[in-house]
């Protein structure tokens, strides 16, 4: 064998897997089609450290988010990764939405998340620009420099002898003496790596890689645009109550203090990252549910991300899908939010499936 394990993909989860497996003494190589780590889905989101309150109790999302949250905060403190525990408000803007907030409180509490129900006056005391009839306060929610987190994982992996190959995509997987991983670089040069085991953490392309290995699965692409927001101040993250479409257009603050609104939900046939400036009016309308002073003029196009989904519009939201048909391969599918938060916990789960 050339190596013990090939990890396909250098997003947050792939990097976490490389660090975890390298720490356990395995010879690992990471193959990434971009020019460096965390260049795609991991870095094109809100940068939120999720607490773990949305996901069904006992689900893989709930378990890895709660465990991963604490591992992430510990890593940030240890390695100097920039982050902030901002807290988050989920706000009910009508009496009918209060029941949703109460259900989230119950689910989150069952998941082991510290939460507090508050009334509308307390919402406004905490965030004067916000109007709501009730809210749910999540103190363990925060924000993180995702690139800094990726650098922490990569540095740990390299300390344990993990090698990285960038500008290279996987074009084939064949079973034989282990796995032959066929690759092609940006110049069209091809080379093969033979490994005893494979971890498919290819993000948006994980379904394509899985099909090479004989697993029939297809991702759906859900695009979300983000807008910078001015004219409003908020210290915490502020979210509406979730709906069938998702978590709703919410506001986050980055580590430089810039407020940002998004993402929305747009189903697309292929990944694209252009932000439509004409969406500003719709964003403002969504935000005015709880930020009544916002206008379209307060919003400027910022960036977009694409989430790999295992469901389509209107369909039930599935759990993370971590498939291991046998101990030689693990496929991480549908790894969207809270994937960054859950990354180190998912890596430990992967290592257990590989028997390492």
- Segment 164-185, tens digit of pLDDT: 999 999 999 999 889 999 999 9
pLDDT of 356 > 80? The answer is no
- Three-state DSSP state, 7: strand
Give the CA-trace dihedral at 62, 78, 201, 347, to 10 degrees: -60
Count of CB atoms situated within 10 Å of the CB of 288: 14
Whether residues 154 and 196 fall in one domain: yes
pLDDT band at residue 1, thresholds of 50, 70 and 90?
A: low
Is residue 62 situated within a structural domain?
no
| Contact indicator for 261, 249 with CB cutoff of 8 Å | yes
Is residue 78 situated within a structural domain?
no
Please, what is the end-to-end C-alpha distance for the chain in angstroms? 17
pTM over 0.95: yes
Whether residues 163 and 289 fall in one domain: no
Whether residues 169 and 264 fall in one domain: no
Whether residues 224 and 294 fall in one domain: yes
Q: Where in the sequence is the domain holding 225, given as residue range(s)? A: 88-139+220-309
Cα-based distances in Å from 257 to 77, 232, 260: 20, 12, 10
- Find, among 304, 334, 331, 332, the residue nearest to 317 by Cα: 334
- Segment 245-275, tens digit of pLDDT: 667 899 999 999 999 999 999 999 999 999 9
- DSSP string of 195-233, one letter each residue: EEEEEE--GGGHHHHHHHTT----PEEEEEEEEEE-S--
- Torsional class of 25: left (φ above 0), alpha (ψ -120 to 50), beta (otherwise): left
Q: How many domains does the chain have?
A: 2
Whether residues 25 and 100 fall in one domain: no
pLDDT of 302 > 70? The answer is yes
Identify the pLDDT of residue 243: 75
Is residue 73 situated within a structural domain?
no
Whether residues 224 and 300 fall in one domain: yes
**CATH code of the domain covering residue 297:** 3.30.9.10
| CA 64 from centroid of its chain's CA atoms | 12
| Contact indicator for 331, 323 with CB cutoff of 8 Å | yes
Compute the distance between CA of residue 306 and CA of residue 27 in angstroms, rounded to an integer: 32
Identify the pLDDT of residue 206: 98
Identify the pLDDT of residue 314: 85
Whether residues 234 and 301 fall in one domain: yes
Is residue 227 situated within a structural domain?
yes
- Segment 90-106, tens digit of pLDDT: 999 999 999 999 999 99
Q: What is the mean pLDDT of the chain?
A: 96
Identify the pLDDT of residue 73: 98
Cα-based distances in Å from 117 to 55, 102, 133, 138, 242: 18, 8, 11, 9, 16
Identify the pLDDT of residue 177: 84
Compute the average pLDDT of residues 107-132: 97
Whether residues 164 and 289 fall in one domain: no
Compute the average pLDDT of residues 114-143: 97
Q: What is the CA radius of gyration of the chain?
A: 21
**CATH code of the domain covering residue 177:** 3.50.50.60
């Amino acid at each position: 064998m050339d190596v013990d394990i090939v990890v396909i993909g250098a997003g947050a989860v792939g990097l976490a897997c490389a660090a975890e497996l390298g720490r356990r003494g395995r010879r690992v190589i990471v193959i990434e089609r971009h020019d460096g780590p965390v260049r795609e889905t991991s870095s094109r989101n809100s940068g939120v450290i999720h607490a773990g309150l949305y996901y069904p109790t006992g689900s893989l999302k709930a378990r890895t988010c709660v465990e991963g949250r604490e591992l992430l905060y510990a890593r940030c403190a240890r390695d100097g990764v920039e982050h902030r525990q901002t807290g988050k408000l989920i706000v009910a803007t009508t009496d009918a939405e209060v029941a949703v907030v109460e259900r989230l409180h119950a689910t989150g509490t069952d998941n082991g998340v510290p939460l507090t129900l508050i009334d509308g006056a307390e919402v406004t005391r905490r965030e004067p620009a916000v109007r709501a009839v009730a809210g749910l306060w999540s103190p363990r929610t925060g924000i993180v420099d995702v690139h800094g987190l990726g650098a922490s994982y990569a540095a740990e992996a390299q300390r344990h002898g993990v090698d990285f190959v960038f500008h290279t995509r996987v074009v084939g997987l064949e079973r034989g003496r282990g796995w032959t991983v066929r690759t092609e670089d940006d110049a069209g040069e091809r080379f093969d790596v033979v490994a005893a085991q494979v971890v498919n953490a290819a993000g948006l392309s994980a379904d394509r890689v899985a099909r090479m290995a004989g697993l029939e699965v297809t991702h759906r692409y859900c695009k979300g645009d983000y807008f910078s927001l001015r004219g409003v101040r908020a210290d915490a993250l502020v979210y509406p109550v979730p709906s069938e479409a998702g978590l709703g257009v919410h506001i986050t603050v980055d580590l430089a203090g810039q407020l940002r609104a998004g993402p929305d939900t747009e189903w697309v046939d292929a990944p694209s990252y252009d932000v439509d400036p004409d969406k500003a009016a719709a964003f403002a309308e969504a935000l005015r549910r709880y930020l009544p002073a916002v206008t379209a003029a307060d919003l400027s196009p910022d960036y977009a991300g694409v989430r790999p989904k295992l469901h389509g519009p209107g369909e039930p939201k599935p759990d993370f899908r971590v498939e291991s048909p046998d101990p030689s391969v693990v496929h991480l599918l549908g790894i969207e939010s809270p994937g960054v938060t859950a990354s180190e916990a998912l890596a430990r789960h992967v290592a257990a499936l590989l028997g390492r």
